[in-house]
Amino acid sequence: MNHHKQRRKTAAFIAFLLVGNWAAFAQEIKWDSTVRPDIYKARVDLFRSLPHSRKDVVFLGNSLTFWADWSDLLGDSRYKNRGIPGDITFGVLERLDEVIQGRPAKVFILIGINDLARNIPDAVILQNYRRMARRLKTGTPNTRIYFQTLLPTNDSFQKLKSHYNKEGHIQKLNAALKEMAQTEGFEVIDLHPHFVDEAGKLKKEYSWDGVHLTLAGYHQWAELLSKGKYVKWRH
């Protein structure tokens, strides 16, 4: 990369940090904050139509969250699924008001792997984590906020190539998330070490495509939440 291009990217990034100039920065790095999966509106409309309770425990995220029926898996109707396949951090922010209006007891967030697949920079993802935490704390101060670390991926499945080989980014985001927790007042549940194999990849028994989870993967997730006394798992 020549010095002129590097200076342009640096200037765009500084503009993003100073004034939130998403469009200018995105144009340089070639990512799109407005992309939403086809199912997005239908799912959000459904969420808004459902009853809310301050006893609710909300699982918020993308397809990793979506494909677990949390109320059935954990054996309690209080557990609400707010996962949308293909969602990114900008999509979660766009629909976060629905969660805030419900004033849930707890919210568990796992989001970011689709951002990485779409080349959204780490700094932008982290800023969106911070925005989520601050909006939740302001809008529903009695809700306990839990961010969960990003899971590893496994490229040996050769199915979701845009998602693979992001481990450096995943490790950076997970480490930064733990640091952010201390200043933003949320708790981090470190899922990643329990899903990774000796080669640093997602364990094969926990996935069917190198990103999404098998039943064994969801049982591992539920067991970790149960052992940490974040939820009660009636299995």
My answer on whether 193 and 222 are in the same domain is yes
pLDDT of residue 234: 78
Instruction: Indicate whether 214 belongs to any domain.
Output: yes
Per-residue pLDDT tens over the stretch 132-176? 999 999 999 999 999 999 999 999 999 999 999 999 999 999 999
Whole-prediction pTM value? 0.87
**Tens-level pLDDT at each residue, the chain (235 residues):** 555 555 555 555 555 555 555 555 555 557 999 999 999 999 999 999 999 999 999 999 999 999 998 999 999 999 999 999 999 999 999 999 999 999 999 999 999 999 999 999 999 999 999 999 999 999 999 999 999 999 999 999 999 999 999 999 999 999 999 999 999 999 999 999 999 999 999 999 999 999 999 999 999 999 999 999 999 887 7
Judged by DSSP in three states, 232 sits in coil
My answer on whether 26 and 79 are in the same domain is no
Instruction: Indicate whether 10 belongs to any domain.
Output: yes
pLDDT of residue 30: 79
Instruction: Indicate whether 93 belongs to any domain.
Output: yes
Dihedral of CA atoms 105, 46, 207, 34 in degrees, nearest 10, equals: -100
pLDDT of residue 23: 56
Instruction: Indicate whether 117 belongs to any domain.
Output: yes
Hey, which residues does 58 pair with through a beta bridge?
Answer: 80, 107
Q: Which residues, at least 6 apart from 198, have a Cβ–Cβ distance to it below 8 Å?
A: none
My answer on whether 118 and 7 are in the same domain is no
My answer on whether 135 and 166 are in the same domain is yes
The CATH number of residue 196's host domain is: 3.40.50.1110
pLDDT of residue 4: 53
Instruction: Indicate whether 103 belongs to any domain.
Output: yes
* Count: domains in the chain: 2
Place of tokens 């993003």: 16
**Other beta carbons within 10 Å of 234:** 9
How would you list the strands of the sheet with 79-83, edge to edge?
79-83, 57-61, 106-110, 144-148, 187-189
Instruction: Indicate whether 232 belongs to any domain.
Output: no
pLDDT of residue 3: 55
Q: What residues make up the domain containing 112? A: 37-227
Phi/psi of residue 102, nearest 5 degrees: -80, -15
Per-residue pLDDT tens over the stretch 204-222? 999 999 999 999 999 999 9
My answer on whether 164 and 94 are in the same domain is yes
What string of H, E and C letters represents the secondary structure of 78-127? CEEEEECCCCCHHHHHHCHHHHHHHCCCEEEEECCHHHHHCCCCHHHHHH
My answer on whether 165 and 182 are in the same domain is yes
